[in-house]
Amino acid sequence: MSSNARTYGPGGSYHYFAGCDASRSYVTGCFAEDRTPDMRGVEEMFLPLDDPSIDRHWSKAELEALRAKELEEAKQKVFDGLDHWVKFFANSKKYNFVGYVKRPAGWPGTEPLRPLCDVAKQQRTTRKIPGQEG
């Protein structure tokens, strides 16, 4: 938290973050749309798009195993992305810890699943054909 009204107040460059837990936006980059701590589905932005012309290079079993591996890697990227910001704010002399945000019982299951924002969707790419990575 910062008391810098010019930055976090109305019209400020970071006004999106004032008064809310915007964890999701730190990973997706969608500051206006993703002002929520609900991280469900964010891993999708790190998953490759399915493309039958490329995916045909794997057997059904290989593709299933590859997708499972990609999902685990995507979840790790989400964790690492948010963890970076948690550590940044925790170690900054500029921002003061003021407390925790309380959530209602059952949260986030009581909220609808958020779709991936356009900025995050645009980061997705197709898989690379084996031997043609890089």
Residue range 31-77, pLDDT digits in tens: 888 999 999 999 999 999 999 999 999 999 999 999 999 999 999 99
23, exposed or middle or buried, with CB in 10 Å at 0-12, 13-18, 19+? buried
In the predicted model, what is the mean pLDDT of the chain?
89
Do residues 82 and 39 make contact, with C-beta atoms less than 8 angstroms apart? yes
The answer, yes or no, to whether the previous bond of 130 is cis (omega within 30 of 0) is no
- Residue by residue, DSSP assigns 91-102 as H-SSS-------
The span from the CA of 50 to the CA of 105, in Å, is 36
pTM of the model: 0.84
Do residues 82 and 27 make contact, with C-beta atoms less than 8 angstroms apart? yes
Phi, psi of 28 (to 5 degrees): -80, -30
* Residue 27: count of CB within 10 angstroms of its CB: 23
pLDDT-based confidence at residue 18 (cuts at 50, 70, 90) = confident
